[in-house]
């Protein structure tokens, strides 16, 4: 399995290189002058010339690309033109928000979607099956931005004075402080030290940080802020997972080994969970992996509607402002995320189905 994983990682290198080339040149083909997008339309020619020299935009594109790749190989993602800060610091601040949102949405999608798909398959062509699939189709078709606004209106305004009230925006209530765990435990880490970026990344995972610092007030507050955006973001993957579970399980339930298990007198629950679901789970795992990849891309609309400073929102702002270092770095992170998720999905196949393991050895 380790050899298989190593081969897959090596085969992903040309893909990542291709993505770097495409993103670099496409980002620079965006219409508009980066100087005027950043400094305003009234920026003078002299100001724009100094701006281009300061940010290395005065060199030919091939020379800029060589500099960019050289920095990547040194672990330097560059400095944001807009914020004048290292991109790695911005990643450490923004990526945790998207990770928490994506994982929360995926948990909702899996916990709700798989049982709905199983129930729908076991009650094929019944009223329950029809209602579930109609709901799934609505979930796939419903615009996330509209659902987000409706959820915010319902739980923040209609239910404002009830126990169902939930925050409509933000990640934490102003006034509350999510003190980083490395400060709570006096680890003596400061900006510029080798471990700072890693510790800062985990500290910005507010749920994780509040658990290990036993800050239950912050944990409750952050969790309440995460409910509405996670539900809004989960609707599409939930619907897809439910439909895939239903389709895959219906296919397996008609197989001979399932009929044989029933003929042996096994309880229906054991037949479904032990025999049918294990074989039906391969396509479901694929959908779950792809769904997490899509969610981690940074749900631009969801983060914008609920005021969350995540990857999707800053990537949109960077494209608007022609902030090339952020566009390149964040796209590279997204690409690596897809590669790793696909690898995890492939490796999980070998655990679920021994035949896949044998094929990988061949």
Q: What is the CATH number of the domain that holds 158?
A: 1.10.3720.10
What's the pLDDT tens digit per position in 121-156?
Answer: 888 888 988 898 888 888 888 888 888 899 999 998
Q: What is the mean pLDDT of residues 244-250?
A: 88
Q: What is the mean pLDDT of residues 45-53?
A: 82
Q: pLDDT band for position 362 (50/70/90)?
A: very low
Per the domain annotation, does 206 fall within a domain?
Answer: no
Q: What is the mean pLDDT of residues 103-109?
A: 93
Per the domain annotation, does 88 fall within a domain?
Answer: no
Per-residue confidence (pLDDT) for residue 150, from 0 to 100: 92
Q: What is the tally of structural domains in the chain? A: 1
What's the pLDDT tens digit per position in 191-217?
Answer: 777 688 889 899 999 999 999 999 999
Half-sphere exposure of 272 (CA within 13 A, CB side): 16
Evaluate whether 246 touches 120 at the Cβ level (below 8 Å): yes
Of 27-36, 72-81, 164-173, give the lowest mean pLDDT range: 27-36
Per the domain annotation, does 46 fall within a domain?
Answer: no
Residue 170 CB-density burial (10 A; 0-12 exposed, 13-18 middle, 19+ buried): middle
Per the domain annotation, does 275 fall within a domain?
Answer: yes
Q: Chain-centre distance of CA 51, in angstroms?
A: 34
Per the domain annotation, does 264 fall within a domain?
Answer: yes
Per the domain annotation, does 253 fall within a domain?
Answer: yes
265 is in which domain, residue-wise?
A: 100-178+215-309+335-361
What's the pLDDT tens digit per position in 259-282?
Answer: 787 787 777 777 787 777 777 888
Per-residue confidence (pLDDT) for residue 355, from 0 to 100: 60
Report the share of the chain in percent with pLDDT over 70.
94
Partnered with residue 86 across adjacent β-strands are 79
- Rounded (10°) angle between helices 324-352 and 354-361: 110
Of 278, 226, 283, the closest CA to residue 102 belongs to 226
When comparing pLDDT for 84 and 37, which is higher? 84
The answer, yes or no, to whether residue 251 has pLDDT greater than 70, is: yes
Evaluate whether 135 touches 246 at the Cβ level (below 8 Å): no
The answer, yes or no, to whether residue 358 has pLDDT greater than 50, is: no
Per-residue confidence (pLDDT) for residue 112, from 0 to 100: 92
Read off the pTM.
0.84
The answer, yes or no, to whether residue 357 has pLDDT greater than 60, is: no
When comparing pLDDT for 255 and 350, which is higher? 255
Per-residue confidence (pLDDT) for residue 211, from 0 to 100: 94
CA distance 245 to 110: 10
Per the domain annotation, does 86 fall within a domain?
Answer: no
Q: pLDDT band for position 220 (50/70/90)?
A: very high
Q: What is the mean pLDDT of residues 281-288?
A: 85
Partnered with residue 79 across adjacent β-strands are 86
Q: What is the mean pLDDT of residues 85-94?
A: 87
The answer, yes or no, to whether residue 42 has pLDDT greater than 80, is: no
Q: Measured on CA atoms in the order 74, 77, 81, 82, is the torsion positive or negative?
A: negative
Q: pLDDT band for position 47 (50/70/90)?
A: confident
Per the domain annotation, does 160 fall within a domain?
Answer: yes
pLDDT winner (highest mean) among 22-31, 35-44, 219-228 = 219-228
């Amino acid at each position: 399995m380790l050899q298989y994983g190593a081969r897959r990682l090596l085969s992903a290198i040309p893909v990542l290189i291709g993505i770097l080339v495409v993103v670099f040149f496409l980002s620079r083909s965006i219409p508009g002058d980066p100087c005027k997008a950043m400094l305003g339309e009234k920026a003078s020619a002299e100001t724009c010339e100094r701006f281009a020299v300061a940010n290395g935009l005065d060199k030919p594109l091939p020379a800029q690309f060589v500099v960019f790749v050289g920095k990547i190989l040194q672990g330097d993602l560059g400095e944001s033109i807009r914020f004048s800060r290292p991109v790695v610091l911005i990643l450490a601040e923004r990526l945790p928000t998207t990770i928490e949102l994506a994982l929360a949405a995926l948990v909702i999608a899996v916990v709700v979607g798989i049982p709905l798909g199983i129930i729908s398959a076991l009650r094929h062509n019944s009223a329950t099956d029809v209602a579930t699939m109609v709901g799934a189709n609505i979930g796939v078709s419903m615009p996330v931005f509209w659902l987000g606004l409706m959820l915010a209106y319902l739980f923040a305004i209609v239910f404002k004075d009830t126990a169902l009230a939930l925050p409509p925006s933000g990640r934490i209530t102003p006034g509350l402080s999510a003190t980083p765990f490395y400060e709570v435990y006096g680890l003596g880490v400061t900006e510029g030290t080798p471990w700072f970026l890693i510790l800062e990344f985990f500290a910005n995972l507010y749920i994780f940080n509040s658990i290990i610092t036993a800050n239950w007030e912050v944990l409750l507050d952050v969790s309440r802020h995460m409910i509405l955006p996670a539900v809004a973001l989960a609707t599409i993957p939930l619907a897809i997972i439910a439909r895939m579970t239903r389709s895959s399980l219906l296919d397996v339930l008609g197989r001979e080994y399932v009929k044989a298990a029933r003929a042996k007198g096994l309880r229906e629950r054991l037949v479904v969970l032990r025999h049918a679901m294990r074989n039906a789970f391969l396509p479901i795992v694929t959908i779950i992996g792809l769904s997490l990849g899509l969610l981690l891309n940074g749900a631009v609309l969801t983060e914008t509607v609920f005021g969350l400073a995540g990857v999707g929102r800053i990537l949109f702002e960077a494209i608007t402002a022609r902030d090339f270092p952020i566009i390149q770095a964040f796209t590279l992170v997204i690409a690596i995320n897809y590669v790793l998720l696909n690898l995890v999905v492939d490796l999980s196949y070998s655990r679920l189905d021994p035949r896949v393991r044998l094929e990988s050895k061949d």
